[in-house]
Chains A and B, each alone.
Chain A
Amino acid sequence: MTATPLRLDEVHSYYGKSHILQGVTLTVGPGEVVTLLGRNGAGKTTTLKTVSGLVRAAAGRVRFLDADITGARAHAIARSGLALVPEDRGIFGLLTVEENLKIAVRKGSLWTMDDVYRHFPRLKERRRNGGAQLSGGEQQMLSIARALLNGPKLLMLDEPVEGLAPVVVDEIVAQIRDIRSSGIPILLVEQNLAVCTELADRHYILDLGRVVYEGSREEFIADAAVKDRYLGVGA
C-alpha cells in the first residue's frame, strides 16, 4: 500500500493569542490535486504554514508520507520533500534568477536546472536579472521552479495566480497541470474558483479555522448552495 502524502488530524494553531486553526482534518492522496478554499482569514495560509513548520501546531498531528512531522523545524520538513510556494512568492531580490534557483538545487530531485529552464523558458531568458526586476508572473514561475528543484514529494501552492493578468494565469495553470501529470501531489490554496475547478480532484472549504465542506470536483461544481454560503460567490 502506498503512503498517504499528507494527513492532518485535528490540527490547532495560533498566531500570538488568536486561535486560527481550530481542528483542521484533511488528507491529500497520491497524485491528487486538492484545493483549500475559504474566505479571507479562514485559515488557509495558516494551514500551509503549519504543515511546513513555519507555524507550530499547538495540538493535533501532521503526517507526511506517513511520518509524523508535527513540531519539526521548517528546514527539516523541507528536506524531507515538502515544498511550499508562499503567497508572497519569497523571491530573493538581491539574488539573480539563476542564484535563486541554484540555492534550491538538491540531489535526488526529479527536476534539474535544465528541466526547469525548458519548462519555464522565460526564466532562462531572465536568468541574469535580479529577482526584484521580475514581473509578478515571472516571480511566481521562479518560486514554483525553485520548489521543484528542491525535490518535492508534495507541493503546496498559496494563491499562485493572485493578482496576475488572465493570459499569465493561463500559462501558470498549464504549468501546474504539467506538474500534476508528473505525479507530484499538490495542495492548492486559491481564491479563483475557475482555476480550482479546472485543476483539482477534490476540494475542502475552511471557515473560521475548521473544515466545513469536502467534496469531489463534480459534487462541488453541482453544489451552488455551498459556494454561496461559504465563499459568497453564489452561482
Chain B
Amino acid sequence: MIYLFQLMNGIGLGMLYFLLAVGLSVIFGLLHFVNFAHGAFYLLGAYLCYALLQYGVGFWGALVLAAIIVAAIAAVVETGLLKRIYRLDHMYHIVATIGLALMIQEIVIIVWGPVGSSVPAPKALTGAIMLGHFIYPEYRLFVIGFTAVLAAILWWVLEGTRLGAVVRAGSESTDMVSLLGYDINRINTAVFALGAGLAGLAGALAAPIRGVDPFMGVEALAVAFVVVVIGGMGSYTGALIAGLLVGIVQSLMTTLWPAGASLAIYIAMVLVVLVMPRGLLGRA
C-alpha cells in the first residue's frame, strides 16, 4: 500500500515537473536557447500566488493571475533583452539568463524576505482521502487532474492547431516560416511567454504542497533540466514521460532510501544519456 501511496505522490510530483519542464523544452526546440532563468519563473509564480492570497484574492484567481503575470514579465524580458542575444553563442545565453535568474531571486528576497512561508491549500480542497492506511490530500488529487487537463489542452494546441504547426515548423527552419508570412519574432515571444507562464503556474500549484522559499527556483531548474535531458530536447511527449518518470522515481526512493531520492533522478538521467544520448524522444 505504501508503494501505491508513493506512486500517487510521484504522479502528482511528476505532473508538476512536466508543467515546469515542457516550457523549457519547447523554448529550446524553437529558439535553440538555453534558459537558466526558467526556475526563476517558477519561483516568481509561487511567490505571486502566495502574495495574491495574502491580499485576499481567492486561490483560483491567484493561480491564474500568477501565471499570467509571469507570462507578461517573460514577454517583456524576451522582447527587451533575450531577443537581442539569440544569434550569439550559447555562452551568452547562459550568462544573461543566470544573471536574470539571480536578479529575480534577489528581488524576491528583498520583497518577501529570505525565510520561506507555507501557503494554505484552497478551502474546498483541504480534505483528504484514505489510501489504505495512508492519508492522501485532496489538493494533490486536484493537482493531478488539473495538470492532466492542461497537458491535454497543450497537446491539442501543439498538434492540432495551425499555431502549433507553425511552432513545430519554426523549430525546423525559422527562415521558411518567415517566407510563408509569419512574423517569427512574435511567435518567439509568444512561445517564450507561454513556457514561462507554465513554469509560473507550476510554481503556484506547488506552493500549497511545499510552501515557498527564495531558493526553490534553483532546485526547480535542476529538476527541469533533468526532465528535459531525459525526455529529449524539444519534445512535448518526452517531457511528459520524463516528468512522470522523475516524479515517480523520486517518490519511491523516498520510501526505499530517503537520502538517495535526489541522487536517484540524476542516476536515471546518466543512464538515459548513456544509452540514448538524445533522450527518450529527442531528435537530432
Given the known inter-chain contacts A83-B179, A103-B162, please indicate yes or no for A92 contacting B168, CB distance below 8 A: yes
Give A88-127 as 1s and 0s: 1 = Cβ < 8 Å from B's Cβ atoms.
Answer: 0010111100011011101000000000000000000000
Given the known inter-chain contacts A92-B172, A94-B171, A94-B172, please indicate yes or no for A74 contacting B165, CB distance below 8 A: no
Does B157 belong to the interface (CB within 8 Å)? no
Selected contact of A78 from candidates B168, B169, B180, CB within 8 Å:
B180
Give A17-29 as 1s and 0s: 1 = Cβ < 8 Å from B's Cβ atoms.
Answer: 0000000000000
Q: How far is the CB of A116 from chain B (nearest CB, A)?
A: 14
CB of B173 within 8 A of CB of A102, answer no
Main secondary structure of the interface of B (DSSP, over half): helix
Query: Which of A52, A75, A78, A146 is the most central at the interface, judged by chain B CB atoms within 10 Å of its CB?
Result: A75
Does A60 belong to the interface (CB within 8 Å)? no
Bound CA–CA A189/B173 (angstroms): 22
Bound CA–CA A204/B173 (angstroms): 30
Give A67-85 as 1s and 0s: 1 = Cβ < 8 Å from B's Cβ atoms.
Answer: 0000001111011000110
CB of B179 within 8 A of CB of A92, answer no
Neighbouring A residues of B56 by C-beta, 8 Å: none
Does B219 belong to the interface (CB within 8 Å)? no
* Stretch in B42-50, B72-80, B181-189, B258-266 touching the partner: B181-189
CB of B169 within 8 A of CB of A95, answer yes
CB of A102 within 8 A of CB of B165, answer yes
Given the known inter-chain contacts A86-B179, A90-B175, please indicate yes or no for A95 contacting B168, CB distance below 8 A: yes
Give A213-229 as 1s and 0s: 1 = Cβ < 8 Å from B's Cβ atoms.
Answer: 00000000000000000
Selected contact of A104 from candidates B171, B173, B180, B283, CB within 8 Å:
B180
CB of A75 within 8 A of CB of B176, answer no
A156's nearest neighbour on chain B, judged by CB, is B179
CB of A106 within 8 A of CB of B176, answer no
Does A47 belong to the interface (CB within 8 Å)? no
Neighbouring B residues of A92 by C-beta, 8 Å: 168-169, 172-173, 176
Does A150 belong to the interface (CB within 8 Å)? yes
Bound CA–CA A86/B176 (angstroms): 8
Query: In B149-184, which residues have CB < 8 Å from any A CB?
Result: 162, 165-166, 168-169, 171-173, 175-176, 178-184
User: Interface size bucket, B side?
Assistant: 10 to 19
Bound CA–CA A124/B176 (angstroms): 22
Given the known inter-chain contacts A86-B176, A90-B176, A92-B176, please indicate yes or no for A75 contacting B169, CB distance below 8 A: no
Bound CA–CA A52/B176 (angstroms): 11
Q: How far is the CB of A99 from chain B (nearest CB, A)?
A: 5
Give A43-63 as 1s and 0s: 1 = Cβ < 8 Å from B's Cβ atoms.
Answer: 000000000111000000000
Neighbouring A residues of B178 by C-beta, 8 Å: 53-54, 73-75, 78
Neighbouring A residues of B165 by C-beta, 8 Å: 95, 99, 102-103
Q: How far is the CB of A155 from chain B (nearest CB, A)?
A: 12
Pairs of residues from A and B, 5 with the lowest C-beta to C-beta distance, nearest first: A90-B176, A74-B178, A78-B181, A79-B181, A92-B169
Q: List 25 A-B contacts (CB under 8 A).
A: A54-B175, A54-B178, A74-B175, A74-B179, A75-B179, A75-B181, A75-B182, A75-B183, A78-B178, A78-B180, A83-B179, A84-B179, A86-B175, A90-B173, A90-B179, A92-B173, A93-B172, A94-B168, A94-B172, A95-B165, A95-B169, A99-B165, A100-B169, A103-B165, A150-B180
